[in-house]
Structure 1
């Protein structure tokens, strides 16, 4: 992990971020989505202040970003996140570095809850999130079809211990 750095994501990262996203989608256990969006759609759906890329030198190995869960003011401190790591870089601490960066960023902004939904088959992601302080809050059974089969989604959240 000593070679890794993190910086805010910007438009110059678009091609690589979307390629890492697509690689995760191609693995079949990352999302109900099957095709990464355009950069315009990706950019429009995520909060600019909480998007980061992890790099080894100049190579982007992964990314993390958040979306608001609601436009209602009462939910201003709740976000949903996604974290994707290039399959070739998994097991190097990239995901944890990205989550730690995201947690620091969101807490500094007064965000008290980060939530996510993960397929139960994605054991590595579930373990990563639990090590980063997320807890399982439930399972949505057979919530949607993906590649012609029903999929469950494990719901996780991380509540800030400092924002009350």
Structure 2
């Protein structure tokens, strides 16, 4: 299970947007029991953030970092980032596809993104194990729960909702 806080680096004052300060944040997160981080597509260069995340030892095996903004780019950028991740031994990244799919417009967009992800995995078998995630509520779970590999969810779901989303 991943335990984290949303960390939009754009919320950090510009003078503190440094790799050294970010490492202090990640180390503090680790010391307070967190096991992963959210990575926003703005604030600090993505590669620098990933290097600091790797070096901070925040990450727990099997729990990916959450790449917010993956849905704002596309398969070409996914490939470039995932290739760089492999090359630089970065932590695993989960693609955050469609924030909070709780209405029909967002559900439809998530389905569009999953079609892209399915094709991406076919075109790039070296990345076939990349996982998807989003913050999701009961409406999104009913519509898309079986498609997301990881749910970012509150504790209010009952077992029957989880089972029904997995076809059980």
TM range (shorter): 0.3 to 0.5
Structure with higher RCO (Cα < 8 A, 6+ apart): 1
Q: TM-score, normalised by structure 2?
A: 0.34
Q: Which has the higher strand share?
A: 1
TM-score normalised by structure 1 residue count = 0.34
Structure number with greater Rg is 2
